Amino acid sequence: MHETALGTVARRQLLVETLLHYLHGYQAFPWPGADGLTLEEVPSSYLDAVKVGKVPGREELLHRHPDLSIELEELFHPAS
């Protein structure tokens, strides 16, 4: 069964909100834009924070958020 475009957008938004939650714990950002960070930059900013050990990595995120497993796999292993 294929997800609808709306379902895909909603899941992408949930992923961004989840990553942003962890970034807020790492940095004192009240919301994207206040510091120059846009919603589109959240995934790459998250990966940068993973590299320096400031936020949970792939395995921990998969454990905490199994409902986002597809999106997390795409984040950590993007298609070429």
State pLDDT tens for residues 47-70. Answer: 988 998 889 999 999 999 999 999
pLDDT for 31 equals 53
pLDDT for 1 equals 44
pTM of the model: 0.76
* Sequence-separated (6 or more) residues with CB below 8 Å from residue 30: none
Is residue 79 within 8 Å of residue 70, measured between CB atoms? no
**Within 10 Å of residue 49's Cβ, how many Cβ atoms?**
19
pLDDT for 33 equals 58
Residue 36's pLDDT band, with cuts at 50, 70 and 90, is: low
The yes-or-no verdict on residue 28 having pLDDT over 70 is no
CA 10 to chain centre: 13
